[in-house]
């Protein structure tokens, strides 16, 4: 039984409204609630989301999925204007002090109204749950298959896992917050439940592999090894610590492998803004347009390592499919110029403002493609040209825009759940990390060493998560610098086989109960005003 997505109380199966908060409960499968595209209405698989008109037009004129223009302000006066008038009346009734506080928070009446009317997601502040990756292996005749199951890393608010800043004096260090940690790992296979060390240590070599009653083998070796099975060379844990499973078939058959991870996760924000719920930690030392550094500052932060690693113009060569990230593309540079021109005077070189404006542009222009091509997926430039893409395509497009200004961005891979942590809500997902510099003046006022004065934060364009980590996003692997792109390719191809053996796409499931603590909070979708 799921919880109410708004207040987290548990309704009865027959309830159509939540009797705790009074909200209408979502109908249908919860998969439609999971993604940002829940806010895009569909009818018979036809996209009906309104988009910005291709050419400048009068206020209220948008472009529908058919290409025609429509004034959405007409014939909607009663609903929208009534809500707006109610908001204005309530605002007028406030004291001058209260009005000043509202303006300080939102920047004006228009943004205040947007904040009240904007759609939103609900996220738990903290959650402990068990997610299972399920693979069904099928073989004909004499065959085998190996697969590497990644042991999830400990994720902290600073990727190196050290204090956020270094100081020139004895100022108190801001120690990192643990965002995701593994509590238990179990491999269920062939009627056995095998406990695996949460960090994969000490190593367990193939020679000491656990063998099931039907001859299947499980081990967790050191990273980067390789082994020959028959005539096949198999890479052992090429990305990070992992569990290797070798399915052996003498006369065909099938095998289910369940990789179960019990994980504890918490929310964290690198965004210092009043829009962030006070219960979400991290924002006090976060970034915004006022304390952001410039494009020129990026090379001075972290010795410029991230910029050298993930700020290049071309990234992830896919052969004939072009680079996934390509900031040389005319289409990308046209978009980058549009984003830059939307910024007010004084923000042209502001790294935060450009990154956020590009994020808002993606929301306004790019729709989510539920039937995106897979072989190969769209490149970043193609995603922008088509004005549509799935999670990894939109992330590539976003990185392409950022790299026109040398802002580093790199991939994050894992699985995304819905607010209910329901079994049907999980799916494979890709998003990103970006690095943004804090300003020299802000750093100097706090006696922070400039080289350490930056944030490295998660950005999920598809799901409206700006500089935000949530428990519903389980991280499997964070991209490492590798100009050969072998690691990226290995992530997408974790299996090797000999003979007629293979599996389809894995399924995911929630096992047992989910413990949610610290309440829930809303993340609203509307553009940031500068």
Confidence category of residue 221, pLDDT binned at 50, 70, 90: very high
402 has pLDDT over 60 = yes
CA–CA distances in Å: residue 204 to residues 82, 187, 216, 219, 518: 66, 14, 16, 6, 38
pLDDT at site 464? 95
Count CB neighbours of 334 within 10 A.
Answer: 12
Question: Token pair of 438, please?
Answer: 């804090």
pLDDT at site 36? 45
Confidence category of residue 22, pLDDT binned at 50, 70, 90: low
- Cα–Cα distance measured from residue 268 to residue 177, given in angstroms and rounded to the nearest whole number: 8
What average pLDDT does range 268-293 have in this prediction?
96
200 has pLDDT over 80 = yes
Q: Dihedrals φ, ψ of 474, to 5°?
A: -90, 120
pLDDT at site 90? 61
- Cα–Cα distance measured from residue 363 to residue 360, given in angstroms and rounded to the nearest whole number: 5
102 has pLDDT over 80 = no
Lowest mean pLDDT among 37-51, 71-85, 224-238, 306-320: 37-51
Q: Dihedrals φ, ψ of 509, to 5°?
A: -145, 150
What average pLDDT does range 24-29 have in this prediction?
50
Q: Dihedrals φ, ψ of 206, to 5°?
A: -60, -35
- Cα–Cα distance measured from residue 416 to residue 514, given in angstroms and rounded to the nearest whole number: 15
Query: Considering the entire predicted model, what is its pTM?
Result: 0.82
Q: Which long-range contacts (CB under 8 A, 24 or more apart) does 196-199 make?
A: 196/151, 196/220, 196/243, 198/151, 199/151, 199/241
Average pLDDT, the chain: 86
Of 272, 246, 279, 295, residue with least CA distance to 403? 295
What average pLDDT does range 372-390 have in this prediction?
94
Note whether 331 and 381 are within 8 A (CB).
yes
Put the strands of the sheet holding 69-71 in their side by side order: 51-52, 61-63, 69-71
- Cα–Cα distance measured from residue 380 to residue 329, given in angstroms and rounded to the nearest whole number: 9
Note whether 463 and 452 are within 8 A (CB).
no
Question: Token pair of 136, please?
Answer: 């069904």
Query: Using the 8-state DSSP alphabet, how is residue 36 labeled?
Result: G
The pLDDT tens digits for 468-478 are 999 999 999 99
44 has pLDDT over 90 = no
CA–CA distances in Å: residue 1 to residues 23, 392, 423, 514: 17, 31, 11, 11
- Cα–Cα distance measured from residue 237 to residue 80, given in angstroms and rounded to the nearest whole number: 55
pLDDT at site 86? 63
- Cα–Cα distance measured from residue 111 to residue 94, given in angstroms and rounded to the nearest whole number: 17
490 has pLDDT over 50 = yes
Q: Output b/e per residue, 190-227; b: 16+ Cβ within 10 A.
A: beeeeebbbebeeebebeebbebeeebbbbbbeeeeeb
388-389/367-368 β-pairing: parallel
Residue 47: which residues within 8 A CB-CB, separation 6 or more? 40, 65, 367
391 has pLDDT over 60 = yes
Q: Virtual CA dihedral for 209, 212, 217, 222, nearest 10 degrees? A: -40
pLDDT at site 49? 38
pLDDT at site 281? 97
- Cα–Cα distance measured from residue 372 to residue 370, given in angstroms and rounded to the nearest whole number: 6
Note whether 433 and 311 are within 8 A (CB).
no
- Cα–Cα distance measured from residue 345 to residue 347, given in angstroms and rounded to the nearest whole number: 6
513 has pLDDT over 80 = yes
190 has pLDDT over 50 = yes
What average pLDDT does range 223-245 have in this prediction?
96
- Cα–Cα distance measured from residue 303 to residue 49, given in angstroms and rounded to the nearest whole number: 44
The pLDDT tens digits for 48-62 are 333 444 444 454 454
What average pLDDT does range 209-237 have in this prediction?
96
Q: Please give the angle made by the CA atoms of 401, 108 and 70, to the nearest 5 degrees.
A: 65
Note whether 367 and 390 are within 8 A (CB).
no
- Cα–Cα distance measured from residue 174 to residue 285, given in angstroms and rounded to the nearest whole number: 9
The pLDDT tens digits for 292-345 are 999 999 999 999 999 999 999 999 998 877 899 999 999 999 999 999 999 999
Q: Please give the angle made by the CA atoms of 488, 493 and 499, to the nearest 5 degrees.
A: 155
Q: Dihedrals φ, ψ of 169, to 5°?
A: -130, -155
The residue extents of the domains of the chain are: 1-30, 31-120, 123-151+181-262+501-515, 312-405
Alpha helices in 118-231 (DSSP H): none
Question: Token pair of 182, please?
Answer: 């593994």
Note whether 309 and 410 are within 8 A (CB).
yes
- Cα–Cα distance measured from residue 435 to residue 441, given in angstroms and rounded to the nearest whole number: 18
Does 110 or 466 have the greater pLDDT score? Answer: 466
pLDDT at site 4? 63
pLDDT at site 118? 85
pLDDT at site 375? 83
- Cα–Cα distance measured from residue 508 to residue 416, given in angstroms and rounded to the nearest whole number: 10
- Cα–Cα distance measured from residue 522 to residue 502, given in angstroms and rounded to the nearest whole number: 42
Query: Using the 8-state DSSP alphabet, how is residue 172 labeled?
Result: P
- Cα–Cα distance measured from residue 304 to residue 452, given in angstroms and rounded to the nearest whole number: 11
pLDDT at site 357? 98
Rg of the chain (C-alpha set) = 25
pLDDT at site 45? 44
Q: Prior bond to 376 cis, omega within 30? A: yes
The pLDDT tens digits for 116-142 are 778 889 999 999 999 999 999 999 999
Confidence category of residue 98, pLDDT binned at 50, 70, 90: low
What average pLDDT does range 31-46 have in this prediction?
42
């Amino acid at each position: 039984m799921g919880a109410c997505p708004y207040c987290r109380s548990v309704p009865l199966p027959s309830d159509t409204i939540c009797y705790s908060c009074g909200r209408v409960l979502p109908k249908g499968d919860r998969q439609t609630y999971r993604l940002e595209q829940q806010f895009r209405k569909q009818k018979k698989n036809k996209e009906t989301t309104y988009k910005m008109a291709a050419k400048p037009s009068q206020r209220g004129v948008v472009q529908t999925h058919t290409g025609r223009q429509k004034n959405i302000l007409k014939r909607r006066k009663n609903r929208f204007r009534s809500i707006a008038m109610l908001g204005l009346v309530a605002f007028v009734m406030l004291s001058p002090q209260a009005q000043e506080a509202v303006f300080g928070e939102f920047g004006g009446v228009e943004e205040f109204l947007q904040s009240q009317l904007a759609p939103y997601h609900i996220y738990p502040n903290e959650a402990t749950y068990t997610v299972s990756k399920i693979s069904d292996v099928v073989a004909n005749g004499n065959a085998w298959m190996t697969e590497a199951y990644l042991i999830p890393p400990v994720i902290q608010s600073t990727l190196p896992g050290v204090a956020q800043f270094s100081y020139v004096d004895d100022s108190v260090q801001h120690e990192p917050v643990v965002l995701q940690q593994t509590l238990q790992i179990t491999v269920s296979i062939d009627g056995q439940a095998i406990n695996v060390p949460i960090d994969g240590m000490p190593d367990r070599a193939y020679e000491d592999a656990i063998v099931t009653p039907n001859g299947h083998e499980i081990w967790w070796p050191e990273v980067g090894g390789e082994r020959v099975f028959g005539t096949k060379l198999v890479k052992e844990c090429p990305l990070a610590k992992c569990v290797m499973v070798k399915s052996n078939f003498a006369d065909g058959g099938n095998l289910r492998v369940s990789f179960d991870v019990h994980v504890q996760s918490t929310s964290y924000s690198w965004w210092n803004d009043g829009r962030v719920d006070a219960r979400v930690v991290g924002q006090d030392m976060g970034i915004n347009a006022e304390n952001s550094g410039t494009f020129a500052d990026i090379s001075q932060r972290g010795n410029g390592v991230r910029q050298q690693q993930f700020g290049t113009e071309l990234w992830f060569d896919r052969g004939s499919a072009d680079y996934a990230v390509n900031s040389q593309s005319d289409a990308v540079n046209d978009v980058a110029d549009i984003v830059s021109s939307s910024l007010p005077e004084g923000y042209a070189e502001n790294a935060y403002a450009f990154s956020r404006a590009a994020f808002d542009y993606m929301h306004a222009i790019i729709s989510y493609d539920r039937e995106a091509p897979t072989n190969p997926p769209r490149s970043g430039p193609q995603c922008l040209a088509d004005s549509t893409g799935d999670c990894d395509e939109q992330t590539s497009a976003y990185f392409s825009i950022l790299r026109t200004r040398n802002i580093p961005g790199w991939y994050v891979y894992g699985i995304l759940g819905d607010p209910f942590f329901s079994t049907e809500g999980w799916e494979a997902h890709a998003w990103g990390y970006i690095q943004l510099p804090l300003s020299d003046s802000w750093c100097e006022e706090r006696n922070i060493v400039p080289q350490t004065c930056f944030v490295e934060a998660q950005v999920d364009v598809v799901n409206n998560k700006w500089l935000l980590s949530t428990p519903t996003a389980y991280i499997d692997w964070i991209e490492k610098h590798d100009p050969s792109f072998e690691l990226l390719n290995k992530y997408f191809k974790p299996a090797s086989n000999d003979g007629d053996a293979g599996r389809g796409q894995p399924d995911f499931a929630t096992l047992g109960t989910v413990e949610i603590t610290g309440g829930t909070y809303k993340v609203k979708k509307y553009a940031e005003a500068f």
